Amino acid sequence: MPIHKLPDLIIAQIAAGEVIESPAAVVKELIENSMDARADKIEIVVEDAGLASIQIRDNGTGILREELSLALESFATSKIQNSDDLFNISSMGFRGEALSSIRSVSHVTIESKTAESEYAWKITGEGNLVSKPEPSALPDGTRIIVKNLFYNVPVRKQFLAKEKKINHDILELVTSYATVRPEISFICSIDGKQLIHFPARNSVSERLTQIYENTFMKSMTPLYYKEPSLNIQGYTSGSGFFHSRPVFIKFFVNQRPVHYAPLFKILKRAYGELLPPGKFAAAFLMLEIDPELIDVNVHPQKKEIRFKDEMHINEIIYNAINRALENRGTIDISRKFANLQKAQPDKVGYTPSFLDFSPPLLVKEDAPHIEAGTPSSNIQFFPEIIHSRIFDTFILASSRDGVFLIDQHTAHERIQYESYLEKLKNRKIVRQRLLNPASINVSPSEKKLLQDSMTILNGMGFEIEDFGPAGIKIFSVPEYLAEGEEQEALRTIINIISEQTELPGEVLFDSLAKSLACKSAVKKGDQISLKDYPEIIARLYKCKNPLRCPHGRPTVIHFSKKNIFEFFNRPAPS
């Protein structure tokens, strides 16, 4: 068959296949147009999962009569003027193909009125046909009605998701835009039933409370990070809220909801062992970034983006989440038992389970004291007197503010971890030569990973050589490695590198430091003299982030004096 040019309608339908993949995509494109028109009220009405009708009504700036017909033409837009604008996108829509693509697979009616117009104007579009503008009765703003979606490409309907799934996607979409644009009022009705009504709010916090209610927001921790070219803010869940599916993970870039696959790994890394197997944290993250540093044109529906320096962005997201989880005040016992009921005097034998210490604790008269001035300046409560150890694991201590349980392993792990990081920061890594070089067998792919990371390894204190079929020989290691840990440390490095390419030296060292700190720390059940505990606690509270181990587990739990008195139905003394 000879080469020939396709008819305009088929070209438009091919474009529609990329941009308008489902009724939810139509809703997305039209909502974005309304937001670009500076609307502060958007109403969505859907019938028959959007296949029968989709109606979007806004109170935005409207479209001039002479531009109405042009709005339905291919690649007609008011949002870019030249090629440079493609790399500095500040609007939600910019390609000029959404309305024309929708027109090619449906019956479209546009009614619009600007503030300067005496009355509204209306046009209709179907396939290649576009009507002339005619007067219409409509207040300021725009109404777009899309009917009989995919009527002329019936095969598309066969591959659409079920009606319930489409409606769910539309509601999720509207909720996402409502989250990141709290100043806009959103209403969404499906098959005659109003399912969303979010009046305008003053902040994202108020909007999230409006959507998910106050109880949910109490489990969230705010986060914020700022650089000259970007800032990130939002909320992430505390240690008590996890979900079996990632339904509460939302990422927005310049107010655009996007799917960013690395975010799941970043959250997993930040939460560490706090995250139960098979569970997901909640995170609502809003990134504002210089448009020149991103490419939003990599996906037909603008669902995905590409960063110029993805590694840097990932570290910023990780640090923002990590800072929110760490060092935000003592971990209070009430956060761990948020749903615990107070003891009721009419319930005989009722005792809160977490107070069931058996046998009774004996406070020693010669209990060691911790030196004043020990704690980090950003810690509100800290122990002063050490009393005992319980369950061969926890240090029991107290202060005038309450009682503390300190996990001897995670506390020592945090101390060791920050010690390793300090050595890297101050370039105090001393290389020690092995009297007998250690050998490690590696696969060809693992060997390649090590060879590609040789500069980083040398900077960390490792000296290795390729011995062909014999594998890799280790000649020098950093002085912080104990004898016999050489092979395990290098194996750990291989595992870390294999999970993420282009890993910076700091991140690699951080991961290795966590592994080494865990192995070298005091273990559960290790017998330590009571006299050694003040030094451990003093060193812990001098750490930058003393309240969690490097993997995210708590080091200290605080029973405030107020909590304790409340549990016994007594007023707390002032």
Q: Tell me how long the chain is.
A: 574
pLDDT of the residue at 285? 93
Asked if residue 179 and residue 89 are part of one domain, the reply reads yes
Asked if residue 370 and residue 296 are part of one domain, the reply reads no
Asked if residue 276 and residue 172 are part of one domain, the reply reads no
- Report the 10 Å Cβ neighbour count for 262: 16
Would 192 be classed as within a structural domain?
yes
pLDDT of the residue at 352? 32
Beta strand pairing call for 120-126 and 431-440: unpaired
Final residue of a domain: which of 168, 198, 228? 198
Residues 507-519: b if buried by 16+ CB within 10 A, e if exposed: bbbbbbbbbbbbe
pLDDT, tens only, 518-571: 766 676 656 666 677 888 888 888 888 888 888 777 888 888 888 888 888 888
Distance CA 279, CA 264 (A): 11
- Report the 10 Å Cβ neighbour count for 84: 9
CATH of residue 287's domain is 3.30.230.10
Q: Residue 234 in 3-state DSSP?
A: strand
Residues with Cβ within 8 Å of residue 409, at least 6 apart in sequence: 393, 521, 522, 523, 524, 549
Show the tokens assigned to 22. 């489902």
pLDDT, tens only, 100-122: 888 888 899 999 999 888 889 99
3-state secondary structure 361-422: CCCCCCCCECCCCCCCCCCCCCCCEEEEEECCCEEEEEECCEEEEEEHHHHHHHHHHHHHHH
Would 146 be classed as within a structural domain?
yes
Asked if residue 347 and residue 250 are part of one domain, the reply reads no
Asked if residue 35 and residue 129 are part of one domain, the reply reads yes
CATH of residue 183's domain is 3.30.565.10
pLDDT of the residue at 54? 96
Final residue of a domain: which of 299, 325, 351? 325
Asked if residue 223 and residue 140 are part of one domain, the reply reads no
**Predicted confidence pLDDT, tens digits, the chain (574 residues):** 666 555 665 555 555 544 578 899 899 999 999 999 999 999 999 999 999 999 999 999 999 888 888 888 754 455 444 444 444 445 554 444 678 888 888 899 999 999 888 889 999 988 778 889 999 989 889 999 999 998 887 766 776 878 888 999 999 999 999 999 999 999 999 999 999 999 999 999 999 989 887 777 877 888 888 888 888 999 988 766 778 788 889 999 998 898 888 888 888 888 877 777 788 888 999 999 888 888 665 544 456 677 888 888 888 888 888 888 764 545 555 544 433 333 333 333 333 333 333 233 333 445 555 554 556 545 667 788 888 888 888 889 888 888 999 988 888 888 888 887 777 666 666 778 888 888 888 777 788 878 877 877 887 778 888 887 767 888 888 776 777 777 878 887 777 776 655 555 666 677 767 776 776 667 665 666 667 788 888 888 888 888 888 877 788 888 888 888 888 888 877 6
Q: Which amino acid is at 507?
A: V
How many domains, the chain?
Answer: 3
Asked if residue 555 and residue 435 are part of one domain, the reply reads yes
Residue 281's domain spans which residues?
219-325
pLDDT of the residue at 46? 96
Asked if residue 164 and residue 17 are part of one domain, the reply reads yes
Would 525 be classed as within a structural domain?
yes
CATH of residue 454's domain is 3.30.1540.20
Asked if residue 415 and residue 277 are part of one domain, the reply reads no
pLDDT of the residue at 296? 61
Asked if residue 381 and residue 290 are part of one domain, the reply reads no
Place of tokens 């098959």: 191
The CA distances from residue 169 to 28, 50, 164, 294, 452, in Å, are 10, 11, 9, 26, 44
Would 279 be classed as within a structural domain?
yes
pLDDT of the residue at 336? 45
Contact present, 185 and 257 (Cβ < 8 Å): no
Final residue of a domain: which of 293, 325, 357? 325
What sign for the dihedral angle of Cα 528, 532, 533, 538? negative
Contact present, 336 and 352 (Cβ < 8 Å): no
Residue 359: asked if its preceding bond is cis (omega within 30°), the reply is yes
Would 465 be classed as within a structural domain?
yes
Asked if residue 501 and residue 371 are part of one domain, the reply reads yes
Would 386 be classed as within a structural domain?
yes
Would 485 be classed as within a structural domain?
yes
The CA distances from residue 70 to 20, 62, 100, 114, 188, in Å, are 19, 14, 9, 16, 28
Asked if residue 351 and residue 223 are part of one domain, the reply reads no
Would 209 be classed as within a structural domain?
no
